[in-house]
Amino acid sequence: MASSALSEPVGIVAVVGCLLLLTEAMRTGGGRVAVLAGLAAATGCLTRYASVVLFPVGVLVLLARPGRLAARIRLAAVFLVAGGVPVGAWLARNVAAAGNATGDRAGSSALTLATSLKLSLAAVGAWVLPGATPDAVQAVAGAMLSTAVAGALVLAFLAERRRAGAAMESVAGPAGAPPVGPAALALPAAVFVVFGGLSVAWFEATLPIDPPPRFLLPVFVPLLIGAAVLVADQSRRRSWRPAAVAALVLVVVAASLPRLEAFVERADRKGLLDYSTPAWRSSPLLAYLRAHPLGGMVASNDPYILYLRLGIPALSTPARTYYASHDPTDELPIFVRQAASAAASGGLSVVWFPQAYQTQDYLYSLHDLEQSICLRLERHFLDGDVLRVCPTT
């Protein structure tokens, strides 16, 4: 997924950057670092709205550091203001331009919070269990994995916070001196693993979006970082020999090389993932659209390919049911109204790919659309069609 043209990889960079800066703010208590952490949180939120969970995570960990309460509150406030200003400006811009803050057009989720949480935990468990494992077993494994890493880091933080408090009583140091151990400084990652997983489940239970694993990608890297910090901390405490750790790394790398070689070979032969295959690169329909730009509104059953390869912003054609259930949606009448409005102004084009990845049972078929609105075929190609909404009379 990280090699696809998605926003999650960019969001992961912002999330990890924010967690690293929060760690440094915990260590030093510096206001400038808290400002940078807030800006990183804002960048993550503007990339993926689910990263808004970085704000409660940052406040919690900054209030948890040792020192005077007033200094901790001030540091958390600096973080919130630095991150809240750009996010607030963006939401205000959305309200002015589109009439709502987040661009949520309509619809609701077909998943309950319990189902969404189970699917999210199962997606975490799938990182370590075979794909054929039942969802319930993967969910238990995901819960155990998240709890083990986050819980161990929190316990390590509390233990070193107590030791730091005792040291502060015996040695006069700077106000609010932080814990010094690496496990203690990974508290932001530990808190984000818990809050991030819960926020993904909540978003999926309240908005009509796809279930995991896509939205859990930003949670995976902090989870891995937390596990690595635990290993590093135990290595420091138990004086593990560096040679043993290096040997383990070499074994993991060696075990990964055959799959990496197969991946590179497949990428050379078939293209890298869905939208860079030879079929897409030599598509007659895309070549026509590149030479004959469409005017007015554009809709497609695979809008991503139009934007990724041609830079054409396109609406998605309506779905009859939700991705993870058979509950009906209200997208078709909304699409019919959009088509009528577009026909009265700049027009509406429908670009249809019969073999598109997005052509699934939950989407309305082209025949369904033709039964609901008047569509005129403009160009036919082996890999798809360009249709135009009939002009109003």
Q: What is the DSSP string of 229-259?
A: HHHHHHHHHHT--HHHHHHHHHHHHHHHHHH
Q: Which residue has the tokens 């090699």?
A: 3
Sequence letter at residue 291: A
Dist. CA 354–CA 360, nearest whole Å? 10
What single-letter DSSP state applies at residue 57? H
364: left (phi over 0), alpha (psi -120 to 50) or beta: beta
Q: 3-class SS at 348?
A: strand
Backbone φ and ψ for 233, nearest 5 degrees, come out as -65, -45
Answer yes or no: pTM beyond 0.75. Answer: no
Dist. CA 242–CA 246, nearest whole Å? 6
Residues ≥6 apart with Cβ < 8 Å to 261: none
Higher pLDDT, 158 or 209: 158
- Tokens representing 10 are 């960019």
- Tokens representing 109 are 């989720």
- For the chain, give the percent of residues with pLDDT over 70: 78
Residues 322-363 have pLDDT tens digits of 766 677 888 899 899 888 888 777 789 999 998 765 456 778
Per-residue pLDDT, 173: 45
- Using only the alpha carbons of the chain, give its radius of gyration: 25
Per-residue pLDDT, 176: 47
Residues 371-383 have pLDDT tens digits of 999 999 999 998 8
Q: Is 93 exposed, middle or buried (0-12, 13-18, 19+ CB in 10 A)?
A: exposed
What is the rounded (10 degree) CA torsion for 193, 195, 201, 203?
-130
- Closest Cα to residue 375, out of 283, 299, 277, 293? 299
Dist. CA 76–CA 33, nearest whole Å? 11
Query: Where is average pLDDT lowest: 90-94, 117-121, 175-179?
Result: 175-179
In the chain, domain spans: 8-238, 278-389
Query: Where is average pLDDT lowest: 294-303, 352-361, 365-374?
Result: 352-361
Higher pLDDT, 30 or 273: 30
